Structure 1
Amino acid sequence: MTVTLMCGPSGSGKTTWAADLEGAGAVRLSFDVELWRRGSRPLTATPELMQEVDAELRTRLVYLVRAGRDVVLDLTFSTRAMRQEWRALVLPLGVVPETVHLDVPHDELRRRLTARSDTAADDVALTPEQIERHLAEFEPPTAEEGPLRVVRVDPLA
């Protein structure tokens, strides 16, 4: 059984990667999908709704791991503290999550995010100011945090 933490700024391709794992049998958990299903978006959701979704996703993660299911967490995991909190949920269950960090050049991220249509949970548009703040606040994961796979995305390849 595996738990994968998808890590990278918005637009890095986390959902595409997570969908591939989902196609191979993992259960995908996503804030964006849950918020969209409830008629909200990550940047406009109330703190109460964010807390509710967070609690539900954490509960589902533990339930799925106890049931022996592979899980991919399709979240940004933008801070070390956030990654540590989610790892701590499954470590007592004998699972050491792997972090998959999609490392994409910032110019490519800006291009992708600017092209979003805001018509689906995984296509939420950001303003230029939100994009810059998101990129500035993102803390790349390090090997000291636990198993880490860094995928460098070359947009010209």
Structure 2
Amino acid sequence: MAERPEPRLILLCGLPGAGKTTLARRLVEEIPAVRLCPDEWLADLGIGFEDEETRERLEGRFRAHAQDLLRLGQTVILEFGFWARSERDAMRLGARALGVPVELRYLAAPLDELRRRLHVRNGEAESGTVQVTREMLGAYAKVFQAPDRAELALYDEPLVT
């Protein structure tokens, strides 16, 4: 039996269309890891993506569940987007309190490319994906706090690239 790598927390950060889900699905297979994606859970439960109260409650449960999984020695990928520095800091500090390495995977692309990807994704209407309009993306980009070099330096190097 192959030795399992030490547990770690992997935070996927980026705007819609940046490639978080694609990366998360690949990492789940390569590491292995448990992936928690609020959009997919909301879709599976029949809850609208615009229900912010339920999304916040679900993400809170995922954060607590991630801590439990880390304590049990399991690597966890959180596919929340982590638009705010405060969210990223809280998750990093919580995992570090358990002695667990933390990766921040920041996926960035120009807005024109994100719009193009979202246009394709919206047309495919895959279950668990949010339909994001150009207007929505523009609004999201205004509130998104991209990590800078100083923040990225607070995280551990990825085990798998």
> In the alignment, what sits opposite 1:140?
146
> In the alignment, what sits opposite 2:3?
none
> In the alignment, what sits opposite 1:83?
88
Alpha carbons of structure 1 residues 30 and 100: separation in structure 2 relative to 1, 3 Å: same
> In the alignment, what sits opposite 2:109?
104
SS of 2:35's equivalent in the other structure is strand
> In the alignment, what sits opposite 1:28?
35
How far apart are residue 86 of structure 1 and its match?
1.7
TM-score normalised by L of structure 2: 0.83
TM-score normalised by L of structure 1: 0.85
Would the aligned equivalents of 2:16 and 2:132 in 1 still touch at CA under 8 Å?
Answer: no
Which consecutive aligned stretches of 4+ in structure 1 deviate over 3 angstroms post-superposition? none
SS of 2:80's equivalent in the other structure is coil
How far apart are residue 77 of structure 1 and its match?
0.8
> In the alignment, what sits opposite 1:37?
44
> What letter corresponds to residue 114 of structure 2 in structure 1?
L
> What letter corresponds to residue 142 of structure 1 in structure 2?
D
Would the aligned equivalents of 1:4 and 1:71 in 2 still touch at CA under 8 Å?
Answer: yes
Root-mean-square deviation (Å): 1.9
How far apart are residue 27 of structure 1 and its match?
0.6
> In the alignment, what sits opposite 1:62?
67
Provide structure 2 residue ranges, at least 5 long, that are not aligned to the other structure. 1-6
Q: Distance in 2 between matches of 1:59 and 1:131?
A: 29
How far apart are residue 5 of structure 1 and its match?
0.6
- What does the per-residue CA deviation read over 1:71-108, in whole Å, with 9 as the maximum and x for residues that have no partner? 11111111111111222321210113110111211110
> In the alignment, what sits opposite 1:18?
24
Would the aligned equivalents of 1:35 and 1:45 in 2 still touch at CA under 8 Å?
Answer: no
Identity value in percent: 32
How many residues align? The count is 147
Provide structure 1 residue ranges, at least 5 long, that are not aligned to the other structure. 150-157
